[in-house]
């Protein structure tokens, strides 16, 4: 599995440039802004499977 970066970076063209405080509110993890966890997209290089995990 390859870490492709933060899930919120895939929302639109400008989301990688937004403040982390804002994008943590829409990353799918209710507690990520409070716990400091970052939700990342992992992609399998063999089969292309996409998985979302906290990092």
Rounded Cα distance between 32 and 26, Å, is 10
pLDDT, position 4: 93
Q: Tell me the C-alpha to C-alpha distance, in Å, between residue 13 and each of 8, 31, 37, 43.
A: 10, 25, 23, 20
Rounded Cα distance between 15 and 11, Å, is 6
Report the predicted TM-score, pTM, of the whole model to 2 decimal places.
Answer: 0.77
Rounded Cα distance between 28 and 1, Å, is 20
In the block, residue with structure tokens 């409070």: 34
Q: Per-residue pLDDT tens for 2-55?
A: 999 999 999 999 999 999 888 888 888 888 888 888 899 999 999 999 999 987
């Amino acid at each position: 599995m390859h870490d492709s970066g933060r899930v919120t970076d895939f929302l639109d063209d400008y989301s990688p440039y937004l403040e982390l405080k804002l994008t943590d509110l829409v990353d799918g993890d209710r507690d990520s802004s409070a716990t400091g966890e970052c939700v990342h997209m992992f992609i399998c290089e063999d089969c292309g499977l996409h998985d979302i995990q906290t990092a």
